[in-house]
């Protein structure tokens, strides 16, 4: 007898439907699996044999052949146990083929017939739904995840015998045997309490002082500008970074689906979790390898940069990261996705991140407090030089965090602004940007290309003159010009201003000056020459 069961699988994060074909025929008893699979998938045969026996359906003494189609995609790191078991049971007539119509089966088996959770359920189920399937048999632990796909009937099962019982019963009675899992997606997004709950303990209201840094991250969050925090140890850089997701707008439904799909594939959705509705915040240690950051493996596993999609990737002690690892960020920061080429194919993972870097101003951390800092100019330049120019180019805001005074700490909670208040302003600015870029295919000011900058960042005569003055006096590069304009646009949006005004430009310049001085080509030596130049002017 021959049977076909449809299951889902993922290649990278791309889901596809997999036909599990089972044939039983006379001959020497054997169980063989074909269909371009890696050894970990092949092991399913043993599990299925034992699980079937323990569930009370010993394999008949026949020649059993299983084929996983399409045969041109290498199957690796996926679970095919449950569909193979169901396929065999159908082939030997235990389950009627008719009862499998429009149904896909996903799951892993334990030796006792238990159905275990698998990863990648969300993208598989939503793909199956698009392909016209109506019912989905899932491990109970994944049921809520799959139920996010509205319109799909999700049956969460705990054991193989449950599955058999389900398929054996009449169509009308099935729902009484196992009730379909239902999740109210709207409720996930309207449950206001949960979002505020999540913000408890990571609210900006808890940070005293640091007003300039707070202002800078507000602008960063509003325009999705990558930001670099520079400051001595203990100046609260990490504290600020951790709170950035709390002032970003909540994830939209589409965004939540994207993020959840990635986490699902990575196997990082918690048991019973449905959708990720909070912005991701990833903070990799500086010892991270290149493949862990961008994604790695024969069929690449999503890296930290993809796990931060639509959220914040915080690189603490940015100068300590290996140069190669940091340089890996160049392309994702530009394209907002990661392209990974393997012999098995090319993979693209989404990587629309807000990069937040933090570093000390010098190896000892205390520059320019010369009472504490004994680093030579050369050491400082070498330290700063660890962040390569191209990465720096993609960072729009540089802000210095000062050491916090004890007096500020002991004040207790002053009437600091809460994250919710800041978020309100950010969301206003985001709304303005969405309206502006409706037809441009971008979402934020930071994504503007030079043509768009010309269109949306028009300056009046007065502002134009000011801009020239700023650039001449501060010796900024031409590249910095565009960055400053993008930044000024966001500042104006936060201000609710139609036109970019002088005060927006000067503030934007303030964030730009830092890196011109820090990372300028001749750095501190230029500073020295400058000082002398001014002396000459006085003479």
Residues in touch with another protein (CB under 8 A): 209-215, 230-231, 361, 367-368, 370-371, 373-377, 380, 399-402, 408, 469-470, 473-474, 491, 503, 506-507, 509-510, 513-514, 517-518, 522, 524-525, 527-536, 538-539
Listed residue (74, 78, 123) closest to 345, CA to CA: 74
| Shortest distance (Å) from residue 152 CB to another protein | 50
Q: Which structure tokens are listed for 187? A: 């409720």
**Closer to another protein by Cβ: residue 183 or 457:** 457
| Shortest distance (Å) from residue 116 CB to another protein | 52
| Residue 216 near residue 399 (C-beta atoms within 8 A) | yes
**Closer to another protein by Cβ: residue 448 or 509:** 509
| Shortest distance (Å) from residue 451 CB to another protein | 28
| Shortest distance (Å) from residue 403 CB to another protein | 9
Long-range contacts of 239-242 (CB under 8 A, 24+ apart): 239/206, 239/207, 240/207, 240/210, 240/213, 240/214, 240/401, 241/217, 241/283, 241/312, 241/314, 241/316, 241/356, 241/358, 242/202, 242/281, 242/283, 242/314
Give dist(CA 312, CA 513) in Å, integer.
24
| Shortest distance (Å) from residue 426 CB to another protein | 15
Give dist(CA 280, CA 201) in Å, integer.
16
| Residue 157 near residue 166 (C-beta atoms within 8 A) | yes
Q: In which region does residue 459 sit, left (phi positive, over 0), alpha (psi from -120 to 50) or beta (all else)?
A: beta
| Shortest distance (Å) from residue 535 CB to another protein | 4
| Shortest distance (Å) from residue 469 CB to another protein | 6
| Shortest distance (Å) from residue 479 CB to another protein | 19
| Shortest distance (Å) from residue 211 CB to another protein | 5
**Residue 115, SS3 per DSSP:** strand
**Closer to another protein by Cβ: residue 321 or 518:** 518
Output the CA angle 185-188-136, nearest 5 degrees.
Answer: 35
Question: Exposure string (b/e) for 43-57, b if CB count within 10 Å is 16 or more?
Answer: ebbebbbbbbebbeb
| Shortest distance (Å) from residue 516 CB to another protein | 9
**Closer to another protein by Cβ: residue 41 or 244:** 244
**Closer to another protein by Cβ: residue 14 or 402:** 402
Let me know how many helices (H) and strands (E) the chain has, helices first.
25, 18
**Closer to another protein by Cβ: residue 374 or 455:** 374
**Closer to another protein by Cβ: residue 154 or 397:** 397
* Helix ranges restricted to H, 92-184: 121-130, 143-146, 160-168, 174-177
**Closer to another protein by Cβ: residue 478 or 539:** 539
| Shortest distance (Å) from residue 406 CB to another protein | 13
Give dist(CA 310, CA 337) in Å, integer.
11
**Closer to another protein by Cβ: residue 42 or 517:** 517
Give dist(CA 236, CA 362) in Å, integer.
17
Over its C-alpha atoms, the chain yields an Rg (Å, rounded) of 29
Which segments of 322-454 are extended strands (E)? 337-342, 345-350, 354-359, 397-400
**Closer to another protein by Cβ: residue 156 or 209:** 209
| Shortest distance (Å) from residue 530 CB to another protein | 8
Q: What is the DSSP code (8-state) at residue 159? A: B
**Closer to another protein by Cβ: residue 7 or 235:** 235
**Pairing outcome for strands 2-11 and 14-25:** antiparallel
Q: Which structure tokens are listed for 379? A: 């050491």
Q: If you write DSSP's letter for every residue of 172-234 in order, what string do you get?
A: TTHHHHSPPB---HHHHHH-HHHHHHHHTTS-GGG--S-HHHHHHHHHHHHHT--EEEE--TT
| Shortest distance (Å) from residue 428 CB to another protein | 16
Count of beta carbons in the 10 Å neighbourhood of residue 132: 7
| Residue 307 near residue 350 (C-beta atoms within 8 A) | no
| Shortest distance (Å) from residue 238 CB to another protein | 16
Element (H, E) at 293: helix 290-294
**Closer to another protein by Cβ: residue 45 or 524:** 524
**Closer to another protein by Cβ: residue 139 or 231:** 231
**Closer to another protein by Cβ: residue 53 or 462:** 462
Give dist(CA 339, CA 216) in Å, integer.
31
């Amino acid at each position: 007898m021959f049977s076909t069961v449809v299951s889902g699988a993922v290649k990278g994060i791309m889901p596809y439907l997999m036909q599990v074909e089972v044939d039983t025929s006379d001959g020497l008893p054997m169980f063989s699996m074909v269909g371009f699979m890696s050894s970990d998938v092949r092991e399913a045969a043993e599990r299925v044999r034992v699980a079937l026996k323990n569930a009370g359906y010993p394999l008949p003494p026949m020649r059993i052949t299983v084929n996983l189609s399409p045969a041109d995609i290498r199957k690796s790191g996926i679970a095919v146990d449950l569909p193979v078991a169901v396929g065999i049971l159908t082939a030997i007539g235990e389950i009627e083929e008719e009862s499998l119509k429009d149904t896909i089966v996903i799951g892993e088996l334990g030796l006792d017939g238990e159905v275990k959770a698998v990863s990648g359920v969300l993208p598989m189920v939503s793909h199956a739904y698009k392909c016209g399937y109506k019912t989905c048999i899932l491990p109970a632990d994944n049921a809520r995840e799959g139920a996010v796909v509205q319109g799909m009937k999700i049956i969460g099962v705990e054991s193989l015998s449950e599955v058999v019982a389900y398929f054996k019963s009449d169509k009308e009675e099935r729902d009484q045997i196992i009730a379909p899992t239902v999740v109210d997606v709207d409720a996930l997004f309207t449950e206001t309490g949960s979002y505020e709950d999540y913000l408890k303990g990571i609210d900006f209201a808890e940070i005293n002082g640091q007003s300039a840094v707070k202002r800078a991250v507000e602008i960063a969050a509003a325009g999705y500008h990558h930001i670099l925090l520079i400051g001595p140890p203990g100046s609260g850089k990490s504290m600020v970074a951790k709170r950035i997701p709390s002032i970003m707008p909540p994830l939209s439904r589409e965004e939540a689906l994207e993020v959840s799909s990635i986490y699902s594939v990575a196997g990082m959705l918690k048991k019973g979790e449905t959708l990720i509705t909070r912005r991701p915040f990833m903070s990799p240690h500086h010892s991270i390898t290149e493949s862990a950051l961008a994604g790695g493996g024969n069929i690449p596993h999503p890296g930290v940069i993809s796990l931060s999609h639509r959220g914040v990737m915080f690189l603490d002690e940015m100068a300590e990261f290996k140069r190669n690892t940091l340089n890996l960020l160049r392309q994702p920061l530009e394209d907002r996705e990661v392209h990974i080429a393997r012999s098995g194919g090319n993979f693209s993972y989404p990587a629309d991140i807000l990069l937040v870097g933090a570093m000390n101003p010098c190896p000892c951390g205390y520059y320019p407090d010369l009472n504490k800092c004994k680093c030579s100019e050369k050491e400082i330049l070498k330290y700063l030089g660890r962040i390569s120019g191209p990465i720096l180019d993609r960072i729009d805001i540089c802000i210095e965090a000062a050491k916090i005074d004890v007096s500020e700490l002991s004040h207790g909670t002053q009437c600091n602004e809460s994250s919710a208040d800041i978020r309100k302003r950010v969301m206003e600015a985001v709304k303005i940007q969405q309206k502006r870029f409706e037809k441009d295919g971008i979402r934020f000011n930071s994504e503007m290309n030079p043509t768009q900058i010309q269109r949306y960042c028009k300056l009046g005569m007065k502002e134009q003159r000011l801009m020239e003055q700023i650039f001449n006096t501060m010796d900024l590069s031409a590249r910095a010009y565009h960055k400053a304009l993008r930044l000024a646009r966001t500042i104006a949006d936060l201000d609710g201003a139609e036109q970019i005004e002088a005060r927006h430009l000067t503030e934007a310049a303030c964030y730009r000056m830092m890196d011109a001085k820090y990372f300028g080509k001749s750095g501190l030596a230029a500073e020295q020459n400058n000082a002398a130049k001014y002396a000459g002017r006085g003479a």
